[in-house]
Amino acid sequence: MADYVIVGNGAAGTTAAEHIRKRDKQVRISIISDEEIPFYWRIRLNEYLAGDIGEKELLAKKAEWYEDNKIDLRLGVRVEGVGSDGSGLVTSGGERISFDKLLVATGSRSFVPPIKGADKNGVFTLRSFRDVKEISAWAGNIQEVVIIGGGLLGLEAGHALRKLGLSVAVVEFFPRLLPRQLDVEGASRLQDIMEKKGFFFRLGAKTSHITGEDSAQGVVLEGGELIQARMVIISAGVRPDLRLAKALGLDTDKGLKVDETMRTSRDNIFAAGDVVEFKGVTYGIWPAALDQGRIAGINMTGGSEYYKGTTMANTLKVAGIDLASAGDIDADGGSESVLRVDEGVYKKIVFEENRIVGCIMLGDTKGFSSITKLMADKKDVSQVKDSILKEGFDFRKLSNF
């Protein structure tokens, strides 16, 4: 009986396990994770931080699901490397785990820039359930926090901490918030809404260092300004976690390279999720992880599914505000586009030769899935281009294209 081992219990690894079991009822499946709880909704970590949901609501899969599917879930186990002969995995406890087929689904790690003082007590990153527990424990004794990074995770962490009554300052190197999801106008509108919620922003600013002896006391910007805070959260993006991939001797660049079948440079080793690089692209979004995990699971069991890439689209909630963004957001305003601007709503669709190539929806995301389908299918939308963002437009019309 073959042994299928999956390292990582996120969206990609869990989806792969599900499809392996659907296709093969006998194979042994093991999921190894250094997390302490089963697969959970990472996007809901900030709700957990704010106290809006408990651990039960955070879980996407309960223990019974693994039992029902005869999946051996091994939590709190870290894979340190591989055996001396290059085969088999070695855990932090020294255990050797052999496999017939392996899926590397190690995800990504928080990127920490070389900021002096980043190693002090009270300085955190926010990526995992363990991170949230540590932040929660520290937050109970402080009043002011600085978040370094104005991306999605940073803003959502700030929103959760505002709910706990903390003062939140955000330092962002770029001159606008969410530079990957919003253009200048959209970011300005989001900033205005969040300032009304009590956020304080320093944009176009770079952190010099974090003050304090053993514990953080504040953040000093390059211009000399001091922002006092006894907690600092660094939210400067993520990078694929390539430690296991490199130990296995697999081909890597920005991420772990895979082909259309999700195979790596070793025939019996597959990969999926945030760790993966496909045709030069690292996706780092939930839909890509699900799709890659499904294809990997099918192909590991002898199938022939092919991955063709994923439209870079995100449907988010930032500080309680609905936001959806996809494709080329035309940040510089040089492309053809249509806008709709209302109280609390900003929408923009970007065109190229009568095809939709990008979209922003802030405050109202109705029709977003229809828009992204048209983007993926590269449909000519010249008939509705001028009316698509008008009040009352029936997005069901788009299914006829």
pLDDT digits (tens, 9 = 90+) for 165-182: 999 999 999 999 998 889
pLDDT score, position 401: 62
Q: Are 58 and 129 spatial neighbours (Cβ–Cβ below 8 Å)?
A: yes
pLDDT score, position 134: 96
CATH number of 313-400: 3.30.390.30
- How many other CB atoms are found less than 10 A from the CB of residue 365? 18
CA distance 89 to 31: 13
pLDDT score, position 212: 95
Domain with CATH 3.30.390.30 in the chain: 313-400
Domain with CATH 3.50.50.60 in the chain: 3-109+238-300, 123-234
Mean pLDDT of each 10-residue bin along the chain, 401 residues long:
91 98 96 96 92 95 95 94 81 91 96 94 94 94 94 88 95 91 92 93 96 96 96 94 95 97 97 97 93 98 94 81 90 87 90 92 90 87 84 71 62
pLDDT score, position 389: 84
pTM over 0.85: yes
pLDDT score, position 399: 66
CA distance 334 to 336: 7
CA distance 63 to 35: 14
CATH T-level topology, domain 123-234: FAD/NAD(P)-binding domain (3.50.50)
Q: 51: alpha, beta or left, given left = phi > 0 and alpha = psi -120 to 50? A: left
pLDDT score, position 174: 93
CATH T-level topology, domain 3-109+238-300: FAD/NAD(P)-binding domain (3.50.50)
